[in-house]
Structure 1
């Protein structure tokens, strides 16, 4: 026997007990074990009672998951309407197609419920016909091994009800089973290509927490106003029985659903359709790289129609991801050098300054500014269109760069830059859209400043240009561009209605009116007018004078080393105001790098659009926002958030989305004071002051309420002397842009 076995035997036989003793020992051990286990149970029970957790797991939450279920109730996304209540974008149901290829998927009667391999080619043909799917791709998906069902990518999603029905009918007629559809919330754009880049898109996104899907704005108005349109999803908790089924009548609302607000835009569906049609013709002829056209109500600043090319169809999604299509809005997300349409502001400033002499002759062969030589367009081309000696009125009609530089030199650089400031160039409009460019004032040298007089050396957006043109059309009164007429909250049956917002008066009424008269000559002067053909004005509507100005600007290279070269390396543009004597509408069109060009093309887009605008003028309800909401008497509340320390420009844009009218004092980086209490309710069209941390110049107070002038006085210590009996500022005796610290007193004239 081995040594280890001997040791084991000795240990076992060391203490041998009789059976009764062994039973007693076993009993004692069991009692001790029972007591030990009982104490462990008590300790665990105490821990569970005290913490409601075990092994880091929330026991109550676990019980709820077994006996309760939480359901997300999706909020209805607000509808976007035109000014009359026609839907532009609204919620809908879309469908995602999938194919069952599991050969075990049969009914109780052994009926085949899957797509059979012999039917694959037919399915591919049907999908190609209705969804544009490549047949090879469909066959590749259907032939995947070890899968029970397959989907078909992006083109197999967001399918409309009519397309889904057509597919179902063809599959049924062909005897094909196994093609099914999932339903999803979707966004319908019933008008197709309709201000697409401006309205934008809302697509489905998945919530990372619970996997639910919701619509979220991706671009344009849908993106900028997403917080207003989206609403807030609700949460409902239901009890479940032992089989996991929801017990009827046990619902408990955890979070109430809040539907998004409806937005009534300023867009007129009739004018927008007309503009889209006319744009197709214009774009087809010019074949420009980028083309944009916008129609604005002169007396309200409302954008009535806007479109650009190339574009996409938000309903079919055609072109949405096309790399050749600009995915930004040319209206407000692109800076450009405006060219000679800027001369409208130059002439108005010179008239206002008292330095414009329309009948004074000058030689336009060239003008030297330091080391730069500036010549007119026809002089540069060595093919004179008109004599070298012209009056300044004739030079404006001819679009003479030399004439404009002379006007700028007469005003002086400082005075001209002050006018650019008054027209708010270099400052984004902050009219409520996202991603807006700011433009750029000229570099601090005399050549660059002089060039801005004819629209080079300065960057602007089209909304900034339209804001400036608005001052000329509206007798010097400059209005904020607007795209919202009303916000309707169906949760409270309340509304916020928009009114025009005055943002300054850069020139006098006389200067604006005289400028429009000179603009008429651009289209009517038989010898010098750049927009006149042999048989009359290029841009015309029977019975009306039209104030017009054309522009041709060079395009700067992306690397900033100069200008692009070539016969088509320009941005051509025209602004038109109708009727010239008292404009109702402003239209602005730009075309970049046209492959084919003649000024006669302007007729194709301007004449029919302006004609229809004048015909529809009385039906547009320009003085009555959102007439379909006339019966709603309650105004939706909007409480001012904590904006101290926030960026003033961003804050101004958010406030304008809620139809509040902010006035930014200074050009600082953050808000230091606000003229109303944080948390207070702001009425629609209420005017509030936002004081920034850098406020050094006297502002343009035109249109301010007396209450806000008093607050300004309190903040700055400047004494205010009032005259007149109105409620708003109509003039001030201290020049805009004067040193604030040196200003001790301002005389304000009030009117209405």
Structure 2
């Protein structure tokens, strides 16, 4: 038996229609309510439509701050930021301003643009025409922005302005410039490890070595920001830029370096490196009364702008004057003499037998294989550089001598404000170790520690802190000036004068002096030479040596201290003192000549 529906088909269809109508009305009401809410609140899911519209048609970019320059002591630029430009063209015919002004390259202007770019930037006309002719990419889309190869990059202000002026006169649009930044080092190899270099990291210029790294936070300045309008293709519309926060340029750092002296030093060191092929060279010229570093360098070195020299397998990544310590050898002996004089356990006329000294379980030998030079006075011991003489003095003041090592600053970094400066070490495990420090073995120092210690001898007992930064000039005009700083008085004026007198014997004593090459005509100089075995993997190398000299001028009123080390040069019949004196004598002569002319 069939069951009949309560409703006829017509009624069912009517009911379905009513339900659909009500559903449609409900959806309409919900959508209308949502739309009204959006219009009223200007938000969707908490996101502001107004802000999104701004983002669509407005852009914001950072304004790079100009990195502060680094200057020499006379204000000459050593390192500075340089702006360069890359040229590009827009070919998109929809790239127009709201008033209809065309901002793209028109076909009728291609030949003229080619002539302009060839005249001022040297870009081949055929390349310009080719680039300005619309082409499609692999996806079949029109290429709307083009560049012009290597010659279209790295343009300076002058070229950019000439191109822009000529395009403006001819009312040609569509050619634009992207601004870039490059750090320039105007003198090439010039105190490279102390000036340092910069690298672009995450679109920021960052100091990577030397002053560039140590003072990076004040050199880099502070970025600003600019807003601009964008077209429908999200390209910026020229002329709509508005600075909302100006950039603040970095501080300017004035160094103590004298460019005339520094360039001379670089020239002399390069000649020495090329001729004698040493493993390493370090050299510096310091103002004795203040601690100012006037010139300093090392070999191997590198070009800060191109990093040529750091891209080799044998590259040295250390600032050898501050980051590497070494056993100085006999240039330590004037400090032993100064300590003995200060402690009153020294008589310059007392005699001892040079050559060999049995000391505990070892034999202390003088530099001529222990042969010695017979009996001599302790004053002659310094001129002749006797190890036996120094150990004899150390035996009389073993504990006090260790104190003088610290008083002369050998176990503390000079704090010259460059990265990774080391402090040096001293071996004190046995009496033999402690005795060896009196002639510069079993103790490790840095180049600048030696320079600092010698200021006490050259400057009436006052030890001056070395410094490289003369002043910092901030964007608001305020200055932070570095003043000379006395960091200790390890010896008296009288002792310093006596040590200088004995160091004069090194140069001028015909019989005992080991540094006659350091005499300079017309300039009274004093010096102390040094030759030290150097340790490799804990074993002393008996075949090659670290040679060094400290030379001070003039003797009567010291103005300059020159210190140089050279490791394992190829001597070929010459001597280390001949090599070093060629550099040091010229540097001191140049310094004294410049001083007299000022």
SS at match of 1:362: strand
In the alignment, structure 2 segments of 5+ residues that lack a partner are 89-104, 113-121, 123-137, 164-175
Deviation by residue 1:588-616 (Cα, 9 ceiling, x = unmatched): 00101112251212231011110010111
1:463-474 correspondence to structure 2 within 5 Å: 463-474=448-459
1:290-689 correspondence to structure 2 within 5 Å: 290-380=280-370, 384=371, 387-412=373-398, 414-490=399-475, 492-532=476-516, 538-557=517-536, 559=537, 561-566=538-543, 568=544, 570-596=545-571, 598=575, 599-617=577-595
Tell me the distance in 2 between the aligned counterparts of 1:607 and 1:565: 29
Displacement of 1:182 in angstroms is 6.4
Tell me the distance in 2 between the aligned counterparts of 1:285 and 1:218: 31
Q: Are the aligned partners of 1:366 and 1:376 in contact in 2 as well (CA < 8 Å)?
A: yes
Say if 1:435 and 1:18 are closer, same or farther in 2 by CA, change over 3 A.
Answer: same
Question: What CA RMSD, in Å, does the superposition of the two structures yield over aligned residues?
Answer: 3.9
Displacement of 1:427 in angstroms is 1.0
Q: Are the aligned partners of 1:301 and 1:479 in contact in 2 as well (CA < 8 Å)?
A: yes
Say if 1:32 and 1:73 are closer, same or farther in 2 by CA, change over 3 A.
Answer: same
Say if 1:74 and 1:520 are closer, same or farther in 2 by CA, change over 3 A.
Answer: same
Displacement of 1:42 in angstroms is 5.2
Q: Are the aligned partners of 1:73 and 1:235 in contact in 2 as well (CA < 8 Å)?
A: yes
1:25 pairs, out of 13, 16, 23, with: 16
Deviation by residue 1:458-477 (Cα, 9 ceiling, x = unmatched): 11111111110111111111
Displacement of 1:422 in angstroms is 1.0
Q: Are the aligned partners of 1:437 and 1:461 in contact in 2 as well (CA < 8 Å)?
A: yes
Question: Relative contact order (C-alpha < 8 Å, sep 6+): which is higher?
Answer: 2
Q: Are the aligned partners of 2:87 and 2:153 in contact in 1 as well (CA < 8 Å)?
A: no
Say if 1:489 and 1:111 are closer, same or farther in 2 by CA, change over 3 A.
Answer: closer
Say if 1:345 and 1:186 are closer, same or farther in 2 by CA, change over 3 A.
Answer: same
Q: Are the aligned partners of 2:190 and 2:297 in contact in 1 as well (CA < 8 Å)?
A: yes
Tell me the distance in 1 between the aligned counterparts of 2:374 and 2:48: 89
In the alignment, structure 1 segments of 5+ residues that lack a partner are 1-9, 99-105, 114-122, 124-144, 169-179, 207-212, 533-537, 621-752
Alignment partner, residue 660 of structure 1: none
SS at match of 2:80: strand
Say if 1:579 and 1:250 are closer, same or farther in 2 by CA, change over 3 A.
Answer: closer
Displacement of 1:397 in angstroms is 0.8
TM-score (norm 2): 0.81
Tell me the distance in 1 between the aligned counterparts of 2:309 and 2:278: 17
Q: Are the aligned partners of 2:252 and 2:472 in contact in 1 as well (CA < 8 Å)?
A: yes
1:209-358 correspondence to structure 2 within 5 Å: 213-240=203-230, 244=234, 245-246=236-237, 251=242, 253=244, 255-358=245-348
Q: Are the aligned partners of 2:310 and 2:316 in contact in 1 as well (CA < 8 Å)?
A: no
Tell me the distance in 2 between the aligned counterparts of 1:108 and 1:94: 28
Q: Are the aligned partners of 2:551 and 2:563 in contact in 1 as well (CA < 8 Å)?
A: yes
TM-score (norm 1): 0.65
Displacement of 1:97 in angstroms is 10
Displacement of 1:66 in angstroms is 1.1
